[in-house]
Amino acid sequence: MKFRTERDNLLDALITTSRAASARGSLGGAPSLQLSLHGNTLDLTGSDPDLVIESSIEVAGANNGSILLPARLIVDIVRSLSAGAITFDGGSEEMAITSGKAEFKVRVPVGAEITRIAPLPSEGITLPAKRFAEGLRQVVRAALTDDARAPQLTGVLMAATESGIRLVATDSYRLAFCDLEGISALAQGSEVLIPARALGEIERLISASNEEDQTILFRHSEFDAVFEVGNVKLTTRLLKGNFPDYQRLLPPSYPNNIEISRDELGAAVKRVRLMVRDSKDATTPVRINFSGAGAELRVLTPENGSAAEMVEGTYEGEDITVAFNPNYLLQGIEAVQSDTLTIELIDSAKPATLRSTGDANYQYLLMPVRVS
């Protein structure tokens, strides 16, 4: 196997595919990438048992072949080289990498392998990439990151609605959903549960692109889903298990609400939570008193002291004080797209909802923290 290519072109593909490489898929060996050369096309593949990312780039090929290389090492080597031409030349057990006066000889890791996922249907649905990525940015943040407690909560529910699709995620402390109207990716009434990790990679790929009219090709079977973005194909196992009945968590109405500047509230939360940064209890809540004057934020810690700040807003309802995890609150604020956000409240013990003022297509429900 032998080919020559530009460092920057190869590095981008290596970084993208290496994000799927995991020790879980390498029989105890180092996470690996597969490089396969066919003519002037180099295919790169990284995987673990649940996720496969493939990318293709054009190179100057000489000898066809395929090899598995340690993912982290190969990325670090190529990143360390100066911009310019790089040559790969090797057999089935070792690859020589040369650029300028630098030369590396990298061996195939012991126990290295690549996950193979069964072929999916050839027909797919085209999705508008930027719009889909924005929905993912708003929703994926609410998914559970640790699959030891409840694996189904590490996924994002993608469900067909009468007007499009809905994306939903929850970690049981907060819930986010986004309605993407006019997008038909699933049969009416159907739904799939897609790992949030995979969708986070899709959002990353789209956000890194400058193409305004970029599209995604989406396909799925009973067990797997595929997203194709440009020259990158991401395949992921679908999650099984019952997703929570989130509809029952959505209150029909709220007696209290405030319209407030997203940026001003977000900046205030960042400032008052500084008191928590070095606290022994990193979950110390921020207490917010909602009144006709707006929202008054307070944080009190035994070690560091206290912080308070008032943010003006338009409030309707009875005065109420609610405590929130400051990090979860800030993530909800940052997910809202509009300059003004609306916070809707029932009482200090029931979930509050954050959304763009005048737009209910995205909602972020946050459980309050019980305080004495």
Question: Model's pTM, two decimal places?
Answer: 0.89
Indicate the average pLDDT of the chain: 90
The torsion angles phi and psi of 15, rounded to 5 degrees, stand at -65, -45
Burial classification of residue 251, based on how many CB atoms lie within 10 Å of its CB (0-12 exposed, 13-18 middle, 19 or more buried): middle
> Is 90 exceeded by the pLDDT of residue 149?
no
Residue range 163-179: average pLDDT?
Answer: 94
**pLDDT of 213:** 83
Q: Two tokens at 121?
A: 């249907």
**Sheet containing 232-237: which strands, arranged edge to edge?**
65-70, 32-38, 41-48, 51-58, 232-237, 224-229, 215-220, 125-128
Instruction: Give the CATH number of domain 251-366; options: 3.10.150.10, 3.40.50.300, 3.40.50.360, 3.90.1150.10.
Output: 3.10.150.10
Looking at the chain, the whole-number percentage of residues with pLDDT higher than 90 is 72
Residue range 126-155: average pLDDT?
Answer: 92
CB 369 within 8 A of CB 282: no
> How far is residue 239's CA from residue 242's CA, in Å, rounded to a whole number?
9
Neighbours of 185 (CB within 10 A): 21
Domain 2-107, architecture per CATH: Roll (3.10)
DSSP H or E run through 220: strand 215-220
Q: Where in the chain is the domain with CATH 3.10.150.10?
A: 2-107, 125-247, 251-366
> How far is residue 235's CA from residue 188's CA, in Å, rounded to a whole number?
23
Among 8-17, 140-149, 341-350, name the one with the lowest average pLDDT. Answer: 140-149
Reported as a single tens digit per residue, the pLDDT across 120-139 is 767 788 999 999 999 999 99
Confidence of residue 231 (pLDDT cuts 50, 70, 90): very high
The contacts of residue 267 (CB under 8 Å, 6+ apart) are: none
Residue range 219-247: average pLDDT?
Answer: 92
> Is 80 exceeded by the pLDDT of residue 209?
no
**Sheet containing 2-6: which strands, arranged edge to edge?**
60-63, 2-6, 85-90, 94-99, 102-107
Reported as a single tens digit per residue, the pLDDT across 8-63 is 999 999 999 999 986 554 445 578 899 999 999 999 999 888 899 999 999 999 99
CATH class of 125-247: alpha beta
Reported as a single tens digit per residue, the pLDDT across 237-286 is 999 988 999 988 888 899 999 999 999 999 999 999 998 876 666 668 99
> How far is residue 165's CA from residue 180's CA, in Å, rounded to a whole number?
5
